[in-house]
């Protein structure tokens, strides 16, 4: 199985989009590659290529649907409640139609539907993931400060890089710690892996409600 984590940014902001590819080997995810400053076309090409090798599971950090009429989705409210309970800040969960989110939502919806229509040799599945919640839900209360600081603090990202190794994501280069988007892509892969692999249970999951909300949302 190949697991891909994608930290997506708005359509005009490729430089903050990072894709990380892992291969499941002996119960661990081995790092294969990371790609930054990546367009939709490049993402689709990479997913298509990986699907020729094996099953592909993709965790995308972006809203993959929106609430009819605007505002929070039911899933957004549920995840916000969950992360506050574990000690995170509620502001990291924003409505998909909020001004600063709407372009990311547009790209997430477009890209997920394009991936779903790929004529792949092996199965390709998609889950919406919140990387910060993936990290925060697996940290101890003593470590919780890391999830509140890693966006701004390189030293904290280095700590989280070692922590990802402890979560059985192995072989990640040290340079991944240089930007938070790369850490988020790896965390998205971790969340997608635990969503797909029956040996694990996501820390939090909101089931898909097709047709308006066609993908599970998890951390």
Question: Which band of pLDDT confidence, cut at 50, 70 and 90, is reported for residue 11?
Answer: low
pLDDT > 70? residue 26: yes
Classify residue 20: in a domain, yes or no. yes
Is 38:19 a contact under the CB 8 Å cutoff?
Answer: yes
- CB–CB of 109/10 below 8 Å? no
pLDDT in tens, 142-184: 688 898 899 999 999 999 999 999 999 999 999 999 999 999 9
Q: What pLDDT does residue 120 have?
A: 84
Q: 89 lies in a domain?
A: no
Q: What is the pLDDT of residues 47-57, one digit of tens each?
A: 999 999 999 99
Tens of pLDDT along 186-209? 999 999 999 999 999 999 999 999
Residue 119's pLDDT is what? 79
**What percent of the residues of the chain are helix, what percent strand, and what percent coil, each to the nearest 5?**
40, 20, 40
> pLDDT tens across 89-124, in order?
888 899 999 988 999 999 999 999 999 998 788 999
Assess if residue 92 is contained within a domain: no
Q: Which domain holds residue 60?
A: 2-64+107-218
The answer to whether residue 157 is domain-embedded is yes
214 in any annotated domain = yes
Nearest alpha carbon to residue 7 among 15, 18, 22, 21: 18
| Residue 41 falls inside a structural domain | yes
More confident of the two residues 32 and 121: 32
Question: Does residue 192 form part of some domain?
Answer: yes
Q: Read off the pTM.
A: 0.95
Into how many domains does the chain fold?
1
Give Cβ neighbours of residue 76 (< 8 Å, ≥ 6 apart).
93, 94, 95, 96
Q: What is the DSSP string of 89-145?
A: -GGG---TTSTTTHHHHHHHHHHHHHHHT---SS-EEEEEE-HHHHHHTTS-TTTTH
Asked whether residue 205 is domain-assigned, the answer is yes
**Range among 3-17, 99-113, 130-144 rated most confident:** 99-113
Residue 10, pLDDT > 80, answer: no
Q: Can you give the CATH number for the domain in which 115 is found?
A: 3.30.420
What pLDDT was estimated at residue 160? 96
- Which value, to the nearest 10 degrees, does the dihedral of the CA atoms of residues 66, 8, 42, 153 take? 180
């Amino acid at each position: 199985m190949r697991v891909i984590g994608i930290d997506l940014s708005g359509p005009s902001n490729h430089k903050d989009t990072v894709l990380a590819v892992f291969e499941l080997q002996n119960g661990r995810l081995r790092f294969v590659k990371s790609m930054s400053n990546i367009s939709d076309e490049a993402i689709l090409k990479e997913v298509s290529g990986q699907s020729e090798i094996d099953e592909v599971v993709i965790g995308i950090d972006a809203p993959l649907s929106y609430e009819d009429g605007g505002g929070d989705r039911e899933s957004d409210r549920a995840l916000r409640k969950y992360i506050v309970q574990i000690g995170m800040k509620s502001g990291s969960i924003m409505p998909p139609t909020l001004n600063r989110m709407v372009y990311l939502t547009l790209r997430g919806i477009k890209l997920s539907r394009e991936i779903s229509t790929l004529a792949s040799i092996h199965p390709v599945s998609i889950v919406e993931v919140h990387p910060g919640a993936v990290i925060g839900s697996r940290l101890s209360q003593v470590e919780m400060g890391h999830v509140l600081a890693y966006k701004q603090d390189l030293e904290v990202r280095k700590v989280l890089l070692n922590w990802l190794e402890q979560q059985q994501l192995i072989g990640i280069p040290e340079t991944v710690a240089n930007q938070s988007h790369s850490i988020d892509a790896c965390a998205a892969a971790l969340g997608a892996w635990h969503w797909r692999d029956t040996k694990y249970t996501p820390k939090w999951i909101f089931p898909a409600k097709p047709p308006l909300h066609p993908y599970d949302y998890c951390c």
